[in-house]
Structure 1
Amino acid sequence: MQPFALTYARPPIPEPETPYAYDPERQLNVLADGSVAVRDRAVLLACGATTSTAGSKTHFDD
């Protein structure tokens, strides 16, 4: 007998390929050449960076 949850289990979705990697020493995302990823407009447009509005709704000084 198969457990009920396994009927609806899905295989894990692989992480998407990104043109940048996290550098823990610098604490930011960098491109393969070592430049900061946030300065590359094409990367930002392709990866769909978002911003949070949570602070704006809870603090008047954000």
Structure 2
Amino acid sequence: MQPFALNYARPAVETEAVTPYVYDSGLQLNVLFDGRIAASDQALLRELGTTTSTAGSKTHFDD
């Protein structure tokens, strides 16, 4: 017997996305390419909602 959900489950769609910031291990924060802290950029936060760190848990936020 096949579970009902497997009739509708689909693989996650991989999207190409360019992140406008990188993780700085010295500051332990995400920084923009011009050196500013990403969490202080209001336009970026309005567009993305948050800046998620990639240096460990995906649930850690740099705000």
Using structure 1 for the length normalisation, give the TM-score. Answer: 0.53
Unaligned 5+ runs, structure 2 = 1-8, 52-63
* Superposition pairs of residues 20-39 of structure 1, within 5 angstroms: 20-39=21-40
Computing the radius of gyration over CA atoms, which structure comes out larger, 1 or 2?
A: 1
Structure 2 residue matching 1:29: 3-state secondary structure:
strand
Residue type of the alignment partner of 1:29: N
In 2, distance between residues paired with 1:21 and 1:33? Answer: 11
Alpha-carbon RMSD across the aligned residues, in angstroms, is 2.5
Aligned pair count reads: 43
Residue type of the alignment partner of 2:46: L
Identity %: 44
4+ residue runs of structure 1 moved beyond 4 angstroms? 8-12
Structure 2 residue matching 1:49: 3-state secondary structure:
coil
In 1, distance between residues paired with 2:25 and 2:13? Answer: 26
Q: CA deviation at 1:16?
A: 2.0
Unaligned 5+ runs, structure 1 = 1-7, 51-62
Work out which structure has the larger RCO, using CA pairs closer than 8 Å and 6 or more positions apart in sequence.
Answer: 2
Greater helix content: 1
